Structure 1
């Protein structure tokens, strides 16, 4: 039962990243017409996504911790590395990059860096989901 809940949590994390980053935010900029308003709403969505990432990531870390014993597999260790990497990217994006974007400092650089971090988090969450789909004991 715990395995299925953890898998669904990983799917929720990856799905929320996908929906916000690749559907909702581009639609905001296409439909609202005012980039400042769209950017403000997008920033709020990305901040909320950071909390989703923290919640999902921490619960998944607890799940893998509960599975840890002398026979931990390499796949489980890689899963933990993917979770920690994604969490670090989410936190860095929110607390190191986003303030520069909000202050409109060197927007091209900071926006590119934030987009890269979001994409990295998306890749880590997707790889985690893929691996968890294969982890069946």
Structure 2
């Protein structure tokens, strides 16, 4: 299992963290700077963040299962396992808590744009919370890559 599992582990980790950094750091800012219509940019970015979240859920499940199979009970003593668990919790909070709330606020704002409506302040506050959680995930992902590459476990 280790000959196949370990490369798949690093592939899943790279895919998840790479998606977080690429979408949050390159794609979303580019959408908002390149498109005139901020609502279209927001809709596309929101869809991409959702895809990245589901990718994260799948990757996290694989990473957790692999670590437990690979190290048994010792996995629970590894910082890397707990970083993955924390990233998963943040992903799930965003996916099932904050994203539906933002969608509801957008729907309440209709037919106006959300930032031109009465729910603007609530939307901005929750969007800020979402952004902070995303940045924490990105930082944890970077720490996880460093932990795993420095650990010498191959």
- Whether TM-score is above 0.5 comes out as yes
Q: Which has the higher contact order (CA 8 A, sep 6+)?
A: 1
Which of residues 124, 127, 134 is equivalent to 1:108? 124
After superposing the two structures, state which structure 1 stretch, 107-116 or 119-128, moved more.
119-128
Deviations along 1:8-38, one digit per CA (max 9) or x if unpaired, are 2211111110110110011111111111111
Once the two structures are TM-superposed, the CA of residue 73 in structure 1 deviates from its matched residue by 6.9
Match of 1:65 in 2: 68
Pairing 1:18–2:21 present: yes
After superposing the two structures, state which structure 1 stretch, 1-10 or 39-48, moved more.
1-10
| Larger gyration radius, structure 1 or structure 2 | 2
TM-score normalised by the chain length of structure 1 = 0.90
Which of residues 4, 9, 24 is equivalent to 2:7? 4
Structure 1 residue runs of 4 or more that deviate by more than 3 Å after TM superposition: none
Match of 1:125 in 2: 141
Once the two structures are TM-superposed, the CA of residue 60 in structure 1 deviates from its matched residue by 0.5
Deviations along 1:49-102, one digit per CA (max 9) or x if unpaired, are 1111011111101110112236x378x621111011101111111211112222
Pairing 1:48–2:64 present: no
In 2, the alpha carbon distance for the partners of 1:122 and 1:14 equals 7
**Aligned CA-pair RMSD:** 1.7
In 1, the alpha carbon distance for the partners of 2:62 and 2:75 equals 19
In 1, the alpha carbon distance for the partners of 2:148 and 2:129 equals 28
Gaps of 5+ in 2: 107-118
The size of the alignment, in residue pairs, is 135
In 1, the alpha carbon distance for the partners of 2:16 and 2:52 equals 9
**Structure-to-structure mapping, 1:73-88, within 5 angstroms:** 77-88=78-89
